[in-house]
Amino acid sequence: MIRRLLPYGVALAAVAVVAAGLGVAAWALALPRIETFLLVFVLLAGAIAWQLGRGPAVLATATFALVSDYFFIEPQNRFGTTTLSDSVHLITGVLAAAAVIQFVHVARHDQLLLRKRKELLQDVSPRIIQSLDADEILNTVAEATLRVIDYQHFRLYRWDEAAERLVLVKSVARADPYTGIDWHTVTLALGEGITGIAAQSRRSILVPDASQDARMVYPSGVSPIKESVLSVPMVTQNRLFGVLSLARLRARSLSLEDVPVMESIAAQTALALANAEQYAEAEQTIKALAMIETLQPPDGGLPDADIDQRILQGFVDLSQADLALLRRLEADKRYHVAAVGGRSWPKNAVSTGEPLTAAQVAWLSDPKVTVYVADPGTDQKLPDWAGRGAQLAGVKAAVYLPMRAGQRFVGFVGLQWRRPRWFRPEQLGRLQLLAAQAAIALDTRHALEHERGRAEALAELERARREFMQIASHELRTPLTVIRGYASLLEEGSLGQLPQPARQAVQTLMDKSSEMRAQIERMLLLARLEDGAALPQMAPLDLRTVVTEAVERVQPQVQLKEGRLRLELAEAPLPILGDSERLGTAVDNLLQNAVKFSTGPPQIEVVGHRENGRIHLVVRDHGIGIPEAARRHLFEKFYRVHNPQLQNVAGTGIGLYLVRQVVEGHGGRVRVDSHLDEGSAFEIDLPVAPETPCSPAGDGQGGETPSPLVGEGRGGG
């Protein structure tokens, strides 16, 4: 109350101060009256109206009329006028003041209104701009507009580029008759209705009385409404986003002052929609990329057809194409239909597309073409098959995207629309990106298939090799046994005494057949190990027996080369659980290598003993030794040390591989220690058998210290 009365008090005070000032001036100057007092009071009334409003100014005018009548108009110091001129004077002053007050009031009101709107606009714009979701933007705009202009109907039309029509996407009705009308039935072409005209001309249009304007378009069955309508286009960066339309009941209820306000809101809405669109596009790209990523499972777990379909779906999602088709290069060098789809691909329709030759897709295979946009109706470059198909399907716009893996043109995607449309560069860019990713997916799959094929072929080859080895070694074994049988008869002299040269020959025969037998045994064992079918025949045994027998087998070769083999075995048994045949072959290999890889007469030591709960067997030679770099490959299958010196040493590179397989199969280990030109030592260690029927001696008793058991083999001369 006090705050409301305060301006009145201030106005009265101002009048009092000015009147007193004038009175003092009149007295000082000894003037009966000051002629300009009226002017002073009119100005004062204007100033009060400007600062304090109309009420206080009216009060001030009334007060100064009284004051001037009493103090300044003759006869002084009483109310009432004596002359007509004085009356006219007073009335003129009051009227002038009233005019000034009214003028100031109007000017001030508009200014205040404008300021208020500006403030409101400043308040709502960030909310419009900040939003990144199109629906949210529309809601915010409708609500924000209401705060600035009190409308009865709000309509927001979006420009649909594909359909080339304005489509109502938001309608807020706040009074009858708007609430009862379904406005969504109206879509407008450019130039159609006030909205269409605003969109076409990109200018705001104010219709003071819509019921009198023939340009207005109402939903069918709705009679023209007595209303004011304002339509403002939403444009940014020269691109039309749609039109904002406001309506208020009664003619001329919207004024020209509303236009700039609405234009500002429309511009911000367009900007916000553009941002939202870009955001949505980016989001879509990310989604598409994420999807493409899932197309490449490392083990190719998805069936091919699924991958093709998913690739195509990615394109459809991104482009909203009506028809879409993926063609892929296949082994017959032709481009086959791999997947079909699209928003209006006829359901249940199977594609009948014939495979295309390279010549038929030549127009796309130029590496410079990354995307081909066509209007199938007029494009002369499109090959027959494409033009004809598009015509049949009523296609008005098409995009072809070649997919390239390096230089290879591995396929392409055709996207088609039944309405004419244009493509923004970003859209095409996204599609290209997708095509590049899809090409990688297809190529990876192709490479995987290729690799799988190769692996299968290799496995087949390996199987055949094993089978061959098994058969071959079996087939060789029998005749060899016969040969060796006769040779040993000859050697023993059972078939009559032979002359010295013949005896020599028979010895060589025996020796070479031993080598051959060993080789066959190796091959057989390898075949058995790799087959996995034949399990080792594990039995408790004394390793000394295995070693002694192997030494006996190699003795003839040692003797032939005039070498020496020293065998040093523990006195107590060396109990293990094992397959004596396989272990025998393993020891054979070590002994034969020791003979083979000694340049002069072989000097070989074989030591077997038990230590720390394990059984150790060492085969040491003083031969050529093994280079450091070769040592870690030594136990690999088919590995042989590359050494020109060894060129005439026969071998296959499976001996040591077998040794390791057999030893490890017995829970043991094999190691090598070697010095070039000094010799090598191969050491096997095996676990002691848990229960040892062949030896009552436990761990740590007897046998710990090696002692000579079997005499030394000495090369015969």
In the complex, the residues that contact ligand ADP under the rule CB under 6 A are: 589, 593-594, 597, 621, 623-624, 626, 634, 639-641, 651-657, 680
Paired tokens of 71: 């103090």
268 or 674: CB nearest ligand ADP:
674
Query: Shortest Cβ distance from residue 625 to ligand ADP (Å)?
Result: 6
101 or 523: CB nearest ligand ADP:
523
Query: Shortest Cβ distance from residue 592 to ligand ADP (Å)?
Result: 7
50 or 639: CB nearest ligand ADP:
639
Query: Shortest Cβ distance from residue 487 to ligand ADP (Å)?
Result: 23
- d(CA 454, CA 465) in angstroms, rounded, equals 16
288 or 606: CB nearest ligand ADP:
606
Residue type, 249: L
Residue 339 pairs with which residues in a beta bridge?
A: 326
86 or 521: CB nearest ligand ADP:
521
653 or 706: CB nearest ligand ADP:
653
Q: Minimal CA–CA distance to 180: which of 230, 221, 208, 216?
A: 221
424 or 675: CB nearest ligand ADP:
675
Residue 323 pairs with which residues in a beta bridge?
A: 416
Q: For strand 153-160 and strand 372-374, is the pairing parallel, antiparallel, or unpaired? A: unpaired
Q: What angle do CA 690, 693, 697 make, to 5 degrees?
A: 75
Could you give the C-alpha distances from 687 to 55, 75, 543, in angstroms and in order?
Answer: 117, 145, 11
Residue type, 36: T
Contacts of 20 (CB under 8 A, 6+ apart): none
Q: What's the burial of 374, exposed, middle or buried (CB within 10 Å: 0-12/13-18/19+)?
A: buried
- d(CA 510, CA 516) in angstroms, rounded, equals 10
660 or 666: CB nearest ligand ADP:
660
Query: Shortest Cβ distance from residue 650 to ligand ADP (Å)?
Result: 7
Q: What is the 3-state secondary structure (H, E, C) of 13-61?
A: HHHHHHHHHHHHHHHHHCCCCCCCHHHHHHHHHHHHHHHHCHHHHHHHH
Query: Shortest Cβ distance from residue 667 to ligand ADP (Å)?
Result: 22
- d(CA 668, CA 619) in angstroms, rounded, equals 16
Cα radius of gyration rounded to whole Å, the chain: 55
Query: Shortest Cβ distance from residue 682 to ligand ADP (Å)?
Result: 7
Q: Minimal CA–CA distance to 264: which of 145, 142, 131, 112?
A: 145
408 or 642: CB nearest ligand ADP:
642
Residue type, 254: L
334 or 466: CB nearest ligand ADP:
466
* Contact call for residues 268 and 129 (beta carbons, < 8 A): yes
Where on the phi/psi map is residue 398: left (φ > 0), alpha (ψ -120 to 50), or beta?
beta
Largest CA distance in the chain: 186
341 or 651: CB nearest ligand ADP:
651
Query: Shortest Cβ distance from residue 687 to ligand ADP (Å)?
Result: 24
Question: CA-CA-CA-CA torsion for 171, 173, 174, 175, nearest 10 degrees?
Answer: 170
Q: Minimal CA–CA distance to 42: which of 24, 20, 68, 21?
A: 68
589 or 692: CB nearest ligand ADP:
589
* Residue 415, SS3 per DSSP: strand
Q: State how far Cα 360 lies from the chain centre.
A: 33
Could you give the C-alpha distances from 170 to 135, 142, 151, in angstroms and in order?
Answer: 9, 8, 14
Query: Shortest Cβ distance from residue 519 to ligand ADP (Å)?
Result: 8
193 or 623: CB nearest ligand ADP:
623
Q: Minimal CA–CA distance to 657: which of 529, 534, 503, 556?
A: 529
Query: Shortest Cβ distance from residue 531 to ligand ADP (Å)?
Result: 20
Query: Shortest Cβ distance from residue 663 to ligand ADP (Å)?
Result: 13
* Contact call for residues 382 and 408 (beta carbons, < 8 A): no
Query: Shortest Cβ distance from residue 639 to ligand ADP (Å)?
Result: 6
270 or 670: CB nearest ligand ADP:
670
Query: Shortest Cβ distance from residue 642 to ligand ADP (Å)?
Result: 8
* Contact call for residues 621 and 603 (beta carbons, < 8 A): yes
573 or 623: CB nearest ligand ADP:
623
Could you give the C-alpha distances from 365 to 315, 402, 410, 411, 441, in angstroms and in order?
Answer: 20, 7, 10, 9, 19
Query: Shortest Cβ distance from residue 525 to ligand ADP (Å)?
Result: 13
Query: Shortest Cβ distance from residue 588 to ligand ADP (Å)?
Result: 10
- Site of tokens 């691909």: 345
Return the H-helix or E-strand segment holding 110: helix 84-130
Query: Shortest Cβ distance from residue 604 to ligand ADP (Å)?
Result: 9
* Residue 617, SS3 per DSSP: strand
